[in-house]
């Protein structure tokens, strides 16, 4: 089955009691048992819920994986993955990372004895140099947030596979429509469903997809034991969002390409970060491992003035200033003070993230209106 068909049908069956074509919202905390332990496969809603089951099966299919597990947020999913490890275990993460992922690693899990090292992984050779005999996991994002760098998933997987290290890919920016890390050798895919998968800025949720039975059993145990599960109403909204994922992503890609090309020609713009631009250092690799370049574009203004960047962000009329991304509406974010404020300034700057960087989540509005908004705001 191809992607658009899977998006609409995978994991979803007409409701067995009524034939309802849309998976019902099973808003229940528990299930009646016939006799102690004799039930229909559902005991308590933290452990199992039919609306969540449909979504988990659907997401697994979209990532070409065997198993899907949903969590109350993307970071809830990240938390579960980090709980696979033990004190003394070492994790290498790419240095250009979502701020919240950095925060849970450095401020929560290092307190429990996990060691984290942040390495620039756009060059896979850097990974080889950073590995030790304690390394148990490599965590990457690609495209990265907010600098849209491209990391070679297959090349990193080649290094981790031979050493029995788990490779986790945060596939939030690409979505399963544009990139399937499991096919490229990753062991675990994590998503903030909040973003493109949900797609309508109305739900916070996370997901994990894997092919490995043992990892899944452990993650399923953690999902139930630690309890960061999403509610059925949110699962319904995510399922509804997914039905148009492929259609939305095509438009996100088209609009972002137009916005990036417009910005690149603008005399007041000094730098544009978008993997769909031929001069982007990861362009060829993105063409190889992705089916499109996505909807995220970051840029800097000539002169690198923070007040001027702030003035532009305040001047938008169609782009709304806010955290998050991946919804149908266009958003603009100031990573240094918003999504990445939890990373110390010196570390941000060492990674190339300037205080003047503006990040756009290009929505699916009419591209002419988006360009006109940029023109008005940048001036
Ligand atoms: C938003 C985001 C997360 C965290 O997801 P939440 O649903 O907000 O908890 C993780 N990774 C990336 C790349 C994100 O953009």
For atom 5 of ligand 1, which residue has the closest CA? 74
Give the mean pLDDT of 249-275.
98
The pLDDT value given to residue 372? 98
Can you read off the two tokens belonging to residue 84? 């696979």
- What is the spatial distance between Cα 150 and Cα 143, in angstroms, rounded to a whole number? 5
Contact 208, 172 (CB under 8 A): no
- Kindly report the pTM of this predicted structure: 0.96
Residue 146: name the closest of 305, 314, 271, 310 by CA.
271
Active-site positions read 46, 98, 170, 195
Does residue 333's CB lie within 6 angstroms of at least one atom of ligand 1?
no
| CA 310 to ligand 1 centroid distance, Å | 24
| CA 342 to ligand 1 centroid distance, Å | 14
Q: Percent of the chain scored above 90 by pLDDT? A: 92
Residue 51: name the closest of 189, 314, 223, 232 by CA.
232
Ligand 1 atom closest to 76 (CA): 9
Q: Percent of the chain scored above 70 by pLDDT? A: 100
| CA 15 to ligand 1 centroid distance, Å | 32
Does residue 98's CB lie within 6 angstroms of at least one atom of ligand 1?
yes
Band (345; pLDDT cuts 50, 70, 90): confident
The pLDDT value given to residue 119? 94
Band (120; pLDDT cuts 50, 70, 90): very high
Band (338; pLDDT cuts 50, 70, 90): confident
State yes or no: pLDDT of 212 exceeds 90: yes
Give the mean pLDDT of 219-239.
98
Give the mean pLDDT of 77-86.
98
Ligand 1 mutation target, pool 72, 81, 99, 100, most atoms within 8 A of CB: 100
| CA 98 to ligand 1 centroid distance, Å | 7
Does residue 338's CB lie within 6 angstroms of at least one atom of ligand 1?
no
| CA 9 to ligand 1 centroid distance, Å | 26
Does residue 276's CB lie within 6 angstroms of at least one atom of ligand 1?
no
Does residue 194's CB lie within 6 angstroms of at least one atom of ligand 1?
yes
What the chain holds in terms of domains, given with CATH numbers, is 3-242 (3.40.640.10), 245-378 (3.90.1150.10)
Does residue 24's CB lie within 6 angstroms of at least one atom of ligand 1?
no
| CA 176 to ligand 1 centroid distance, Å | 15
Ligand 1 atom closest to 141 (CA): 13
Q: CA dist 56 to 63, 144, 185, 227, 235, Å?
A: 11, 25, 21, 16, 9
Can you read off the two tokens belonging to residue 40? 């229909």
Least confident of 20-29, 91-100, 285-294: 91-100
The pLDDT value given to residue 342? 81
- What is the spatial distance between Cα 59 and Cα 37, in angstroms, rounded to a whole number? 29
DSSP character string of 60-124: HHHTT-SEEEEESSHHHHHHHHHTTS-TT-EEEEESS--HHHHHIIIIIGGGGT-EEEEE--SST
CA 227 to chain centre: 21
Does residue 75's CB lie within 6 angstroms of at least one atom of ligand 1?
yes
Give the mean pLDDT of 199-225.
98
Q: What is the SS3 assignment for 260?
A: helix
Give the strand order in the sheet containing 166-170.
67-71, 206-210, 188-192, 166-170, 135-141, 90-94, 115-119
Ligand 1 mutation target, pool 171, 194, 341, 342, most atoms within 8 A of CB: 194
State yes or no: pLDDT of 144 exceeds 90: yes
Does residue 171's CB lie within 6 angstroms of at least one atom of ligand 1?
no
Give the mean pLDDT of 258-270.
97
For atom 6 of ligand 1, which residue has the closest CA? 74
The pLDDT value given to residue 352? 87
| CA 192 to ligand 1 centroid distance, Å | 5
Does residue 192's CB lie within 6 angstroms of at least one atom of ligand 1?
yes
The pLDDT value given to residue 341? 83
């Amino acid at each position: 089955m191809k992607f658009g068909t899977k998006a609409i049908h995978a994991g979803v069956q007409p409701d067995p009691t009524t034939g309802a074509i849309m998976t019902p919202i099973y808003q229940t905390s528990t299930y009646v048992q016939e006799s102690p332990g004799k039930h229909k496969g559902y005991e308590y809603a933290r452990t199992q819920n039919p609306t969540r089951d449909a979504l988990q099966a659907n997401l697994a299919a979209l990532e070409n994986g065997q198993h899907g597990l949903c969590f109350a947020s993307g970071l809830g999913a990240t938390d579960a993955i980090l709980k696979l490890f033990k004190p003394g275990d070492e994790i290498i993460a790419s240095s250009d990372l979502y701020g919240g992922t950095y925060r849970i690693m450095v401020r929560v899990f290092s307190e429990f004895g996990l060691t984290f090292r942040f390495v620039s992984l756009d060059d896979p050779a850097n990974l080889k140099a950073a590995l030790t005999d304690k390394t148990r996991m490599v965590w990457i994002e690609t495209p990265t947030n907010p600098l849209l760098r491209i990391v070679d998933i297959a090349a990193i997987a080649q290094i981790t596979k031979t050493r029995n290290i788990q490779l986790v890919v945060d596939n939030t920016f690409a979505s399963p429509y544009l990139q399937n890390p499991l096919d490229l050798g990753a062991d675990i895919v994590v998503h903030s469903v909040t973003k493109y998968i949900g797609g309508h800025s109305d739900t916070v949720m996370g997901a994990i997809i894997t092919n490995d039975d043992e990892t899944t059993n452990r993650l399923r145990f953690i999902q139930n034991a630690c309890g960061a599960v999403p509610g059925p109403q949110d699962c319904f909204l995510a399922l509804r969002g997914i039905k148009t994922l492929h259609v939305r992503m095509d438009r996100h890609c088209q609009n972002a390409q137009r916005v990036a090309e417009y910005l690149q020609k603008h005399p007041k713009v000094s730098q544009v970060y978008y993997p769909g631009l031929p001069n982007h250092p990861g362009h060829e690799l993105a063409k190889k491992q992705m089916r499109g370049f996505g909807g995220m574009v970051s840029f800097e203004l000539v002169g690198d003035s923070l007040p001027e960047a702030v003035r532009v962000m305040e001047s938008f009329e169609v782009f709304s200033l806010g955290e998050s991304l991946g919804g149908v509406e266009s958003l603009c974010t100031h990573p240094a003070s918003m999504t990445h404020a939890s990373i110390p300034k010196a570390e941000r700057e060492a990674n190339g993230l300037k205080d003047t960087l503006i990040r756009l989540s290009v929505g699916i509005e009419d591209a002419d209106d988006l360009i006109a908004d940029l023109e008005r705001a940048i001036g």
